[in-house]
Amino acid sequence: MIAPATRELIVNGLWRQNPGLAQLLGLCPLLAISNSVVNSLSLGLATTLVMMVASASVAVVRNLIPHEIRIPTFVLIIAAAVTVVDLSMNAYVHPLYLVLGVFIPLITTNCIVLARVEAFASKRSTAASVLDAAMMGLGLTLVLVVLGAVREIFGKGTLFSGLDLALGPAARDWVVTVVPDYQGFLLAVLPPGAFLGLGLIIALKNWIEAIRQARRGTPAPVIQPAA
């Protein structure tokens, strides 16, 4: 049996307050790199890892950080975590590292990382902070993967191409050619496709919420993006 507080954290991260669908934070990498499943999955997992390390570190020392300089301190901690992830990816998954390029160091500036540290980890216990960071990160990864899959299918007619970059040679045969002889639809691969795709996924979430609310007999709440 999961405790209600834990359950709340999981539901918030994966669905209700999903960073990609409800908070609309961390959209820069979401839109820039999500043109295939492998890119989305690896950047999403890297971001999740950074969020967990950063949240854990901040939660441990949260009572030692002076309030006035907390933001620079948080950013330093996040940057340190990103450097670790950046160097590890360069060492262990080098081809993937070359593909993702500048977007790995840029995780430092991803506002979802700082937002969770500031809003959650600097006020709550270490265990809760790590769980929150993991769930928020996985929620973002989930959106990234769905968006990456949609853009890859429409843009190139394949699914899971290049997954061996992230998961090793065993995944080389996992490529699914959804539409054979596909001519390609560049718009889906280019940035406008990311905006359109994300907009449609957010609309889908709001629609599902509206249906669930209607079933319960209460009016659907208007979902506002976080300021």
Partner 1 sequence: MPTSPHIVLADNSVRAVMFKVLAALVPGVVVHAWMFGPAIWVSLLLTTLFCLVIEALVLAMRDLPLKPFLSDGSVLVTAWLLALSLPTLLPWWLYALGSLFAVLVAKHLYGGLGQNVFNPAMVGYAVLIVSFPAHMNLWPAPVGVAGHTPNLMEALDLVFAGQGAVSPDAYTAATPMDQLRAQVRTGLSAEAVAAASFGLHAKEALVLSYALGGLLLLAHRVITWHVPVAFLGALVATATLLHLIDPGRHADPLFHLLTGSTVLGAFFILTDPVSASTTPLGKLIYAGLAGVITVLIRSFGAYPDGVAFAVLLMNAAVPFIDAYTQPRVFGHSRGRRT
Helix (H) or strand (E) holding 74: helix 70-92
In this chain, which of 192, 207, 208, 214 binds partner 1, going by CB under 8 A?
192
Quick one: which of 24, 70, 4 has its CA closest to 206?
A: 24
In this chain, which of 196, 201, 210, 220 binds partner 1, going by CB under 8 A?
196
- Residue that has been written with the tokens 């265990």 in this structure: 127
Size of the site for partner 1 (CB under 8 A): 8
- Residue 108 Cα distances to 26, 34, 132, 167, angstroms: 11, 18, 18, 24
Identify which range of 8-16, 114-122, 129-137, 185-193 contacts partner 1 by CB under 8 A: 185-193
190 near partner 1 (CB under 8 A): yes
First to last CA, the chain: 35
176 near partner 1 (CB under 8 A): no
Identify which range of 29-37, 100-108, 172-180, 183-191 contacts partner 1 by CB under 8 A: 183-191
Stretch 10-29 residues interacting with partner 1 (CB under 8 A): none
Least distance from C-beta 130 to partner 1, angstroms? 40
Contacts of 69 (CB under 8 A, 6+ apart): none
Nearer to partner 1, 63 or 183 (CB): 183
Quick one: which of 143, 180, 142, 137 has its CA closest to 158?
A: 180
Token pair for residue 161? Answer: 């191409």
Identify which range of 50-58, 59-67, 76-84, 187-195 contacts partner 1 by CB under 8 A: 187-195
Residues that bind partner 1 (CB under 8 A): 183, 185-188, 190, 192, 196
